[in-house]
Structure 1
Amino acid sequence: MLSTFLTLSFLTISCEKERLLTDKVDFEELPLNASGLWNGSDGSGGFASGNLFFPNTFNSDYQAWAGFSYTNHTDTVTGDYTNQFSSIAGSGAEGSSKYGVYYYMGVPDTIKFNVPAKVTGLAVCNTTYAFKAMKYGSLFNKKFGGDSGNDPDWFKITITAINQQGNDVGYVDVFLADFRPDDSKNDYIANAWTSIDLSAFGFIKALKIEMSSSDTGEWGINTPAYFCIDNIISVLEKAEE
């Protein structure tokens, strides 16, 4: 079970009548070639699905990407850099074929909404790469809990809601791994999809995404800073007719 901690700023909530429409972003309509992944190599700078736009940065010199991608990969075994695009669950949320993958390069990325919306569900999961790195450690990152199993390690996503005026209205911390509990039996590295309700933020125009880890060094996060995202369900705000 993921730990989530929600922080709200002061919100002004409108009581005006609205015509409400539901939007579900599940990535299933997005095209894939034989590689089974899209990582921004076309230089487009991102992709749209439903009401949302997901930013992407691609460096053609190094064939490196950051921000959002999408995939249908299912490898739950390979725990290294060659397997950036697989969820540890082996599929998208609810067993679906396609899902998004986020890679954090030290600078927040922002999912933009075409129409203001209230997010009632957003599913997240560890990648196989991040899960295995935390569970077993590597030359580049530590095993979570350390040799004793008692190190209070953690790995989290911070999702900040942004309103139509461009102001932050609150954030939620989603822990993909948490070894801080006093009882080590409650330590976990998430291996399944979990949905988060962001409706407390009201109608918003964007979500800012950041990642952080207890295992951080001079050059930033040592833990592979990836997570999977799927089934973003929201209610769209529509002006009165």
Structure 2
Amino acid sequence: MMTTRVLPSLALMLLLSAPSARAESLSVDFSDLTLGSESFDNGSDGSGGFTSKGVFFRNSYNPTWQTWSGWSYSNRTDNTTAGFGNQFSSFAGGDASGDGNYAVAYGQSPSSVRFDLPEPAPGRAPVGMSARFTNTTYTALSMRDGDQFGKAFGGPTGNDPDFFLLTIVGYSGAGASGDVLGEVDFYLADFRSDDNSLDYILEDWATVDLSSLIGAQSLGFRLTSSDVGTFGMNTPAYFAMDDFAIRYAVIPEPASLALLGLGLAGVVAVAGRGRRGRVA
């Protein structure tokens, strides 16, 4: 009788000790990058990009013209100074994660703004993906007040249906190549509502769920605006990103599952012997 009472406890202990699926995450918050106070790195060293938490962010720098595209990183906090000279500050006044650093992107298409996703480690399956985005100060103040190139969003009456749209595209191949697996739209500014009180220019960090792009080998970023002129988009083609994260489910190894099966089989066998030994 004592043996049969203990058997359920043995089975429970085996189940609780089994290596069930658990969660892990990769969080790219750029805290592993070193910058001086109120500074930035726009690839002027010609390295072609930078790596944070194992993810490589591509950058193209032209030393002749001292221009860049792709990704840079910054810790600048100036959210009041307008103009091109303040292109590396977030309109949120700093980063999202609290470590000081964040990424700044410049470019209108996935051919210039993109990065490859890391291969999952063995036994890891991606189950979620997200990032936080905001405007740069240069772009936000251009949209709010207008400048020598771009209009003030909403126009003189506030009724112009202006917008500034970030589209994140998932690709089957590296370097924004192969098939398009999906797209996620996120408005950095939106004046399309008939109710002008709903118009906005994003001034804080906002989390965007990118889980629909799981399975992509790379992400590309596209910017579009309602303010377009003879030479293309008038709105400065910048945005800021922080806290890019991928969540993984950790799958138990086959050997561990086999051991669990053997343990449960032993419990069943002992239970069988206990039942046969009982006297009515």
Match of 1:159 in 2: 168
> Are residue 126 (structure 1) and residue 135 (structure 2) matched?
yes
Match of 1:14 in 2: none
Match of 2:113 in 1: 109
Q: Which runs of 4+ in 1 moved over 3 A?
A: 17-21, 105-108, 116-119, 163-166, 236-241
- Structure showing greater relative contact order (alpha-carbon pairs closer than 8 Å, 6 or more residues apart): 1
User: 1:93 Cα shift?
Assistant: 0.7
Structure 1's 29 and 73: CA in aligned 2 closer, same or farther, altered over 3 A?
same
User: 1:51 Cα shift?
Assistant: 3.8
Q: How many residues align?
A: 225
CA distance in structure 1 between the partners assigned to 2:82 and 2:127 by the alignment: 36
- Which structure shows the bigger proportion of residues in helix conformation? 2
When the two structures are superposed, what TM-score results if normalisation uses the length of structure 1? Answer: 0.86
Counterpart mapping for 1:184-199 below 5 A: 184-199=196-211
CA distance in structure 2 between the partners assigned to 1:51 and 1:118 by the alignment: 19
Larger Rg: 2
Deviations, residues 41-78 of structure 1 (Å, cap 9, x unaligned): 11111111124221111000011111100001000111
Match of 1:177 in 2: 189
Structure 1's 145 and 33: CA in aligned 2 closer, same or farther, altered over 3 A?
same
Match of 2:265 in 1: none
User: 1:202 Cα shift?
Assistant: 2.4
- Identity of counterpart residues, as a percentage? 41
CA RMSD of aligned residues (A): 2.2
* One-letter amino acid matched to 2:135: N
- Decide which of 234, 241, 244 is 1:229's aligned counterpart: 241
Instruction: Please identify, of 176-185 and 116-125, the stretch whose mean Cα deviation from structure 2 is larger.
Output: 116-125
Unaligned runs of 5+ in 1: 1-16
Contact 2:165 2:187 in 1 (8 A): yes
Unaligned runs of 5+ in 2: 1-19, 121-125, 254-280
Instruction: Please identify, of 107-116 and 194-203, the stretch whose mean Cα deviation from structure 2 is larger.
Output: 107-116
- Decide which of 40, 64, 72 is 1:69's aligned counterpart: 72
CA distance in structure 2 between the partners assigned to 1:18 and 1:61 by the alignment: 53
Structure 1's 35 and 87: CA in aligned 2 closer, same or farther, altered over 3 A?
closer
Give SS of 1:124's match.
strand
Counterpart mapping for 1:138-149 below 5 A: 138-149=147-158
Structure 1's 118 and 86: CA in aligned 2 closer, same or farther, altered over 3 A?
farther
- Decide which of 209, 225, 230 is 1:218's aligned counterpart: 230
Structure 1's 53 and 163: CA in aligned 2 closer, same or farther, altered over 3 A?
same
* One-letter amino acid matched to 1:67: G
- Which structure shows the bigger proportion of residues in strand conformation? 1
- Decide which of 54, 57, 61 is 1:54's aligned counterpart: 57
Give SS of 2:34's match.
coil
Structure 1's 20 and 168: CA in aligned 2 closer, same or farther, altered over 3 A?
farther
CA distance in structure 1 between the partners assigned to 2:66 and 2:127 by the alignment: 36
